[in-house]
Amino acid sequence: MKTTYPLHTQQLTFSCLPPSVPFAKDLKLARSLIFASGTLAPLATYSGELKIPFDIQMECNHVIDVQRTFITALGHGRNSNIKLRATYQNTDKFEFQVDFSCLTKFFIENEFFS
């Protein structure tokens, strides 16, 4: 198989789309879909965003120990002149992408998510 890009690449992508757009093709082909995530609740909202009914649903209680969670709010990254506002207008700006990716890399390298 010939590709136009290296096989071992890393990519950070920002998509400011309603979820129904990228899922539209898959939703038409599937007989069953299983969505598993800690951030889908409430399911009624997510069902509306995907524009499909969820005939069968199951929601569980929160199962992650609070000691294993990391929550923070960041106003800016390494460049204090760039505000980290992930709006439609900002996510296409190179400066925003650099600051956001540097912060993401920092958190991963320092095992904030492990």
- Residue 24 to residue 43: CA distance in whole angstroms: 18
> Is pLDDT at 114 greater than 60 in this prediction?
no
Encoded amino acid at 64, one letter: I
What is the Cα 98 distance to its own chain's centre? 17
pLDDT confidence of residue 4: 64
Q: Are residues 28 and 55 in the same domain?
A: yes
pLDDT confidence of residue 41: 67
Residue 96 phi/psi, 5-degree rounding, is -60, -45
- Residue 102 to residue 12: CA distance in whole angstroms: 11
Q: Are residues 69 and 42 in the same domain?
A: no
The answer to whether residue 1 sits within a structural domain is no
Q: Are residues 45 and 55 in the same domain?
A: yes
Query: How many domains are there within the chain?
Result: 2
Residue (of 51, 61, 63) closest to 24 by Cα position = 51
Averaged pLDDT for residues 3-31: 68
Q: Are residues 75 and 58 in the same domain?
A: no
Q: Are residues 71 and 113 in the same domain?
A: yes
Encoded amino acid at 32, one letter: S
In this prediction the pTM is: 0.41
**Domain range spanning residue 77?**
65-114
- pLDDT band of residue 52 (cuts 50, 70, 90) is confident
